[in-house]
Every structure is written in structure tokens, then in C-alpha cells.
């Protein structure tokens, strides 16, 4: 065997475990869900195996008589999910960027400690951490107690089961996923480039906009992607902190699969969400690609 | 050369904490005047404070004491981006996300120079450094030497009062470095902007500078033209750092008219001329540059004074041969011979050699506590 062929086989062997796992645990189930989305729901759950496009019709507006009704509420729920996921992403960037900047300028040993602290929440169970937020946000919770103690009792609010609570919870849960890619790209930013910008007459603000921001954009885009997507589909946080008042796409899909036992409709909602995410991601990748070609 | 003072540095002091909790002077009361339209080099070993001084001038380092004045006005409260200086960074620090032309135009863009003028000046600056065809490339597509030219163009396009260059040639290979020495000098002459260069390379400093400030341990040890620094170093450090040198310690005995003789403890005499203001009987160092010693095989035909030595080794370096010898008391001396093509070296290891010299070529340094 030639050296090149040998190397080729070795690459394949290295890729095989991950490839097989992805095929079995991701591609297979995904195809199953995709096919369910165009099948008829069974009377007592399950599916009838024939072509049935009306699951999508209920959301997009092509109903089948009075059996599968079109309801704008589904599209509204999806739109609300996108809005809240965007908000969560923006808040996460705003919170993490300065923090990641600060950490990246620490001496190496304290930097390692700070990174450890950032990943600390992973050591506790997600549900427990979200319940902790319920203790903070409820009317008799920590937040209002602190406000009262500070003499701002009038400002006391009931944040539980509001969009604000869901955003706070999602930001909290997804923060490390924003922090780490941001940190990775800010840490690579050569301080000499910032000095060069100042030296050429740019104010600190101009330096940030013209040098720091474009050079750390990959981190922002990467962090935004891995925060936006889970925020869009998350159903634990909205169901605990938003209850029935803040219905998001994740809850809707969960309901269809579990409570309503309408697997095809749940699958159709999931495919719509997936399609939306794919379109956004491809658009971002395409923009990056065309701009990269110029630079 | 205009002798007007552009930048006046007085008592510049900067201390750093050491990890052990002590403090070291990176700059120790440095006084230095930078003149208009000159090529001034800060020369010294690493850690001598030259880079700290450059950063303090650029505005990236505060002074603990002292001041830097531009045209008489203190720069103390002027942030880096408002100082009319530009820097060529050691790593060049070109913006990787901008084209070569946009790198060069950066300073003009943030100063909101109108588009047409901006483009004209960028083109001019690129042409000046011979990169007119490279404007649309990305910096990473250029060679190291080309990247440096971009860094130069990016700084000069803003017409700074003072151009600061931090080890500008250290990242280039030897051939390119020597070519760039001449180019930098010519460029400075061309644009009429004061260049302040930091380097640890004494050859580079000698080749390019109008004046050199030799720094050591946070102080300027000597300021002068390259010839002054080379011929009449003020102390052992400067003598040893700039050029190859033979330093022989002895006692000064003066005769008439600045003439005299340095006598080593072993009784070897080195004659000198034109020595002023050194007290009789003082401990001194006699500096003999290798090229001022002429090795003669048999000792015949030497007109002036000579030193008897034994050949320790010879090293052929191309144009020259380095002859290492030692005096009777073991003091090592280096002499330089011009290589003559096809001619065998007349000096075998262990052979006796006579080193002739002119007393006027001997520089005598009072040995102070250093």
C-alpha cells in the first residue's frame, strides 16, 4: 500500500467511530421524524403509513376540511420562540463579551481559574439550577426580599411565568456556551493590533469597532449559533419558568408528542423549526464565505 | 540637518516590580533630546530600557517621574492616539482583516480624510515603498520584507512628527536586513521625518544612524555620532557593546601634550596620544580596536610602537582573518588582517607575532566604578 493510501485509510479509521455514532443516533432518527411529518396521525397515537401533507398545513395554512384546522397560534408560537431566542442570544453576547475580554487579559494561572468557574454550573443538574431561579423570581422570592431590604419594596414584581423569566433562565443556562467561543477568539486577538490602531490615531471606541470586533466576529457568530439554536428548541426552562403562559416551540412540540399524542404534527413542527435554523445557518455561512473570498 | 529640538525627554523614570517583590528601574532618569529630521538610534542589550522609552514616547507606557515634551509642550496627559507619532512595530502588527491598501489607509480613515485624498496618499505611500501593485493583497500573502514595507507605509502616510521603529529589521534575514538598512536611511532622508529606532544590533545602529544613544540598565550611557561612539566610547560597557574591542587595564602615566602610556601590572606599555583630563596614576582601560593592530610576523619594519604576542588561533571569515593572540601576561588581543587572495596565512598557532599600532589610535578610558 502506498503512503498516501495508507494515510487515507488511517483517516477513515479515525473518523469511523464518530461517523457510525452520528449515523445511528442522529441521521437515522432524523429521517424517521422527517418521514413521520408527512404521515397521518393514528387515532390512538402512532402513525398511519400514508402520504399526508396536512400536518404542515395546520401551521402554514392549507387545512384539510375541519379535521386538521389551520391555526395562526402555531406560527405565532414559532415566531415568539425566534424572538425570545434572539433576545437570549443578544443578552448573552452583551454579558459575555466584556467578561471574556477581562478573563483573556488575566495572568495565565488566574485565567485557568476563571475558565473553571465559568464551567462550574455544568457540575449541577439543569433542573435543580432552574428551580433555584424559581426561588429567586417568585413573588416571595430572593429578588423581592432583596428589593424590600434595600427599601425598594415598591419595585417588587412577580416575574414568574413571564417572558422575562424565560429569557433570564435561558441566558443563565446557555451563558457558558456563549462565553467559551467568545473567549477563544478574544484570547487570540493580538494586543499589538490594538496598540497599532491606537498608534494610528484611532480612539478606543474606533479601535474596538474597526479592529477588535471584526477579528473576534468568528467567536461571536459561533457563540450566537450554539446559543440561539438550543434557546429556540429548549422546553425545560420555558415550562418551568414560563409555565403555560409562555408557550414556546419546544413546549409545543413536546405537547404534541406526549400530551396530544399527535406524533406527525409534532414531527412537522420539529421539521419547520429545523428548516428555519438551517436557512439561517446557511445564510450566515454563505455570507462569511463571500466575504472571506474578498479578504 | 536641522539642530532644533523636536522631542525633549527629561528625567524619565520607570520602575517595574520584580516577581520577588523588589523593583527595577527600566528607565532611570533618562535625559535625551531628539532633534528635528535626524536618524536617532537607541542601542542597547535587551532589558536596557530602550523599548520602555520607545513605548513611553508612543504613549503606551506611563512614566513614574520625568517628562516628555514635544515642541516644549508636555505629553503627559496626551493619550497615544492623539500623539503625532507613528510606530513600526517589531511584529509589524498589520491588520489581518484588511487589505494592504486599507492597512495603509487606516490612520487616514480614522482621521476622516476625504476619500480622494486618502486614496491618493495611500497610493503614494505604497509607491514610496515599492508596493504599488500589492494594494489589494491581504497582509499574509506578502513576504516578511514586504510586510515591513507595508508597516512603514502605514506609519509614514500619516506624516508623523516622529517615526518610532521597534527593532525594525530583527525579523528579516541577513541579506534583506543589510539592504533595508540603506533603504531606511534613504527613506528618512527622503521624507524628512525624524526616525527613532530601537535596536540591539550595533552594526545596524552604526550603519544607519545620525546619532546613537547607547543605553544600559535604564540609563543613556553615551550619546553621539556613530564615529564618536565607536572611536571614543566613554566606558567599558560602550566599548565592549559597540564593535569588537581589546580592553587592556593598566595605570596611566602621562607625558607631554596629552600623550602618555598605559602600563599593565605585568609592565607592558601601551602608548597613547591625544588623551585629555586623566590624572596621572589613575587606573584606566586602553581600547585598541582589532583593525588598529597590524600583525607583523618577524617584527621588522614596524615604525611605531608594538606589542609582542603569541598567536592563539586564526579564523577566516572571508574578507578578513581574525587573529586571536595573547600578550606575555596572558591578556587576550584580537587583530584583523585583510585577506589577500591566494596567499597563505603567515601566522601559525603558537608562533610569535608583533602587533604594531599608532598611539593616536589608542583610546584611553578612565576606569570608573561600573
Does A31 map to a domain?
no
Contact B318, B368 (CB under 8 A): no
Q: What per-residue confidence (pLDDT) applies to B110? A: 96
Q: Which residue of A has its CA nearest to B101?
A: A295
In a domain? residue A224: yes
CATH number at residue A154: 1.10.3720.10
Q: Name the grid cell of B62.
A: 506611563
- Classify the C-alpha dihedral B96-B102-B108-B111 as positive or negative: negative
pLDDT of residue B100: 97
CA B113 to chain centre: 37
Q: What does the pLDDT average to over B162-177?
A: 90
Assign B186 a pLDDT band (cuts: 50, 70, 90): very high
Q: Per-residue pLDDT tens for A9-26?
A: 999 999 999 999 999 999
Return the closest-CA partner of residue B47 out of B217, B299, B163, B230: B217
- A223 lies in some domain: yes
CA distance B345 to B339: 9
Closest approach of chain A CAs to the CA of B32, in angstroms? 22
Please give the pLDDT value at position B78. Answer: 95
Q: What is the arithmetic mean of pLDDT over B12-37?
A: 90
Residues composing chain B: 370
Task: With beta carbons less than 8 A apart as the criterion, state whether B155 and B104 touch.
Answer: no
Give the ipTM of the model, two decimals please.
Answer: 0.87
Interface test with A, best of B79, B97, B147, B150 (most A CBs within 10 A): B97
What CA–CA distance (Å, rounded) separates B270 from B286?
8
Q: Output the pLDDT for position A291.
A: 60
Considering only the beta carbons, identify the residue of A190, A201, A214 that sits closest to B110.
Answer: A201
Best residue of A195, A199, A211 to probe chain B, by most B CBs closer than 10 Å: A199
Give the per-residue pLDDT at A32. Answer: 93
CB contact under 8 A, A190 and B158: no
User: Does residue A285 lie within any of the structural domains?
Assistant: no
Q: Is residue A221 part of a domain?
A: yes
Residue A1 in this model has a pLDDT that exceeds 80: no
Overall number of domains in chain A:
1
Tell me how far apart the alpha carbons of residues A82 and A95 are, in angstroms, rounded to a whole number: 20
In three state form, how does the secondary structure of B40-65 look? EEEECCCCCCHHHHHHHHHCCCCCCE
Q: Would you state the pLDDT for residue B23?
A: 85
Q: Above 90 in pLDDT, residue B204?
A: yes
Q: Which pLDDT score is estimated for B329?
A: 87
Asked whether the beta carbons of residue B58 and residue A196 sit closer than 8 angstroms, the reply is: no
Q: Which of A56-60, A74-78, B240-244, B267-271 shows the lowest per-residue confidence on average (mean pLDDT)?
A: A56-60
Average pLDDT over residues B194-200: 96
Strand ranges (DSSP E) for B3-89?
A: 5-17, 23-35, 39-43, 65-70, 73-74, 85-88
Asked, for residue A95, whether it belongs to a domain, the answer is yes
Those residues whose C-beta lies under 8 Å from the C-beta of residue B176, and which sit 6 or more positions away, are: B144, B145, B169
- The per-residue pLDDT for B24 is 87
Of A196, A201, A215, the CB nearest to B89: A196
Q: Which of A200, A203, A214 shows the shortest C-beta gap to B106?
A: A200
Domain membership of residue A152 (yes or no) is yes
Q: How far apart are CA A89 and CA A232, in angstroms?
A: 10
Residues from chain B contacting residue A203 (CB–CB below 8 Å): 81, 110
Within 10 A of B7 (CB to CB), how many other CB atoms are there?
21
In this structure, of A7-16, B228-237, B254-263, the range with the lowest mean pLDDT score is B254-263
pLDDT (average), residues A236-254: 89
Q: What is the pLDDT of residue A44?
A: 80
| pLDDT tens digits, one per residue of B338-360 | 888 887 777 888 888 999 999 99
Domain housing A202: 71-261
With a cut of 70, say whether residue A293 has pLDDT above it.
no
User: Could you tell me if residue A201 is inside a domain?
Assistant: yes
Side-chain half-sphere CA neighbours of B358 within 13 A = 5
User: Which pLDDT does position A63 carry in this prediction?
Assistant: 58
Amino acid at each position: 500500500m502506498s503512503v498516501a493510501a495508507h494515510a487515507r485509510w488511517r483517516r477513515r479509521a479515525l473518523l469511523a467511530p464518530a461517523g457510525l455514532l452520528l449515523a445511528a443516533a442522529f441521521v437515522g432518527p432524523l429521517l424517521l421524524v422527517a418521514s413521520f411529518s408527512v404521515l397521518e396521525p393514528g387515532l390512538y397515537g402512532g402513525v398511519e403509513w400514508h402520504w399526508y401533507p396536512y400536518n404542515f398545513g395546520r401551521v402554514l395554512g392549507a387545512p384539510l376540511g375541519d379535521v386538521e384546522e389551520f391555526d395562526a397560534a402555531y406560527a405565532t408560537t414559532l415566531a415568539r420562540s425566534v424572538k425570545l431566542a434572539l433576545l437570549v442570544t443578544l443578552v448573552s453576547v452583551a454579558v459575555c463579551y466584556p467578561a471574556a475580554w477581562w478573563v483573556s487579559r488575566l495572568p495565565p494561572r488566574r485565567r485557568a481559574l476563571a475558565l473553571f468557574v465559568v464551567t462550574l454550573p455544568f457540575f449541577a443538574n439543569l433542573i435543580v439550577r432552574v428551580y433555584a431561579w424559581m426561588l429567586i423570581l417568585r413573588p416571595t422570592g430572593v429578588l423581592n426580599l432583596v428589593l424590600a431590604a434595600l427599601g425598594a419594596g415598591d419595585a417588587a414584581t412577580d416575574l414568574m411565568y413571564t417572558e422575562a423569566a424565560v429569557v433570564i433562565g435561558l441566558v443563565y443556562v446557555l451563558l457558558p456556551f456563549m462565553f467559551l467561543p467568545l473567549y477563544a477568539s478574544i484570547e487570540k486577538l493580538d494586543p499589538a493590533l490594538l496598540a497599532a490602531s491606537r498608534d494610528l490615531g484611532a480612539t478606543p471606541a474606533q479601535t474596538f469597532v474597526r479592529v477588535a470586533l471584526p477579528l473576534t466576529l468568528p467567536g461571536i457568530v459561533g457563540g450566537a449559533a450554539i446559543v440561539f439554536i438550543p434557546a429556540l428548541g429548549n422546553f425545560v426552562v420555558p415550562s418551568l419558568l414560563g409555565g403555560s403562559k409562555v408557550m414556546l416551540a419546544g413546549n409545543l412540540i413536546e405537547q404534541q408528542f406526549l400530551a396530544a399524542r399527535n406524533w406527525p404534527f409534532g414531527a412537522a413542527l420539529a421539521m419547520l423549526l429545523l428548516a428555519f435554523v438551517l436557512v439561517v445557518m446557511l445564510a450566515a455561512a454563505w455570507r462569511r464565505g463571500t466575504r472571506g473570498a474578498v479578504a | 540637518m536641522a539642530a532644533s529640538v523636536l522631542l525633549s525627554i527629561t528625567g524619565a523614570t520607570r520602575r517595574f516590580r520584580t516577581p520577588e517583590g523588589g523593583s527595577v528601574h527600566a528607565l532611570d532618569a533618562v535625559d535625551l533630546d531628539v532633534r528635528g529630521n535626524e536618524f536617532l538610534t537607541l542601542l542597547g542589550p535587551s532589558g536596557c530600557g530602550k523599548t520602555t522609552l520607545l513605548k513611553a514616547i508612543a504613549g503606551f507606557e506611563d512614566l513614574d517621574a520625568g517628562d516628555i515634551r514635544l515642541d516644549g509642550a508636555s505629553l503627559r496627559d496626551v493619550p497615544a492616539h492623539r500623539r503625532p507619532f507613528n510606530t513600526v512595530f517589531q511584529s509589524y502588527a498589520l491588520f489581518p482583516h484588511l487589505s494592504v491598501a486599507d492597512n495603509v489607509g487606516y490612520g487616514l480613515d480614522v482621521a476622516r480624510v476625504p476619500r480622494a485624498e486618502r486614496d491618493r496618499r495611500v497610493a503614494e505611500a505604497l509607491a514610496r515603498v515599492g508596493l504599488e501593485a500589492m494594494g489589494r493583497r491581504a497582509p499574509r500573502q506578502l513576504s516578511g520584507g514586504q510586510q515591513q514595507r507595508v508597516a512603514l507605509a502605514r506609519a509614514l502616510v500619516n506624516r508623523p512628527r516622529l517615526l518610532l521603529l521597534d527593532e525594525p529589521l530583527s525579523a528579516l534575514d541577513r541579506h534583506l536586513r543589510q539592504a533595508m538598512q540603506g533603504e531606511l536611511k534613504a527613506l528618512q532622508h527622503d521624507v524628512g521625518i525624524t526616525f527613532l529606532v530601537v535596536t540591539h544590533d550595533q552594526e545596524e545602529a552604526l550603519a544607519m544612524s545620525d546619532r546613537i544613544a547607547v543605553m544600559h540598565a535604564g540609563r543613556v550611557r553615551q550619546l553621539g555620532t556613530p564615529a564618536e561612539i565607536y572611536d571614543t566610547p566613554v566606558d567599558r560597557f560602550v566599548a565592549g557593546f559597540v564593535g569588537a574591542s581589546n580592553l587592556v587595564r593598566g595605570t596611566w602615566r602621562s607625558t607631554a601634550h596629552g600623550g602618555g602610556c598605559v602600563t599593565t601590572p605585568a609592565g607592558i606599555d601601551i602608548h597613547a596620544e591625544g588623551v585629555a583630563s586623566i590624572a596621572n596614576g589613575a587606573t584606566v582601560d586602553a581600547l585598541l580596536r582589532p583593525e588598529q593592530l597590524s600583525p607583523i610576523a618577524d617584527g621588522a619594519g614596524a615604525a611605531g610602537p608594538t606589542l609582542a604576542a603569541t598567536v592563539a588561533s586564526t579564523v577566516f571569515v572571508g574578507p578578513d582573518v581574525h587573529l586571536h593572540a595573547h600578550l606575555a601576561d596572558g591578556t587576550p588581543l584580537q587583530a584583523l588582517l585583510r585577506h589577500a587572495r591566494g596567499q597563505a596565512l603567515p601566522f601559525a598557532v603558537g608562533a610569535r607575532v608583533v602587533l604594531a599600532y599608532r598611539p593616536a589610535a589608542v583610546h584611553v578610558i578612565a576606569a570608573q566604578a561600573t
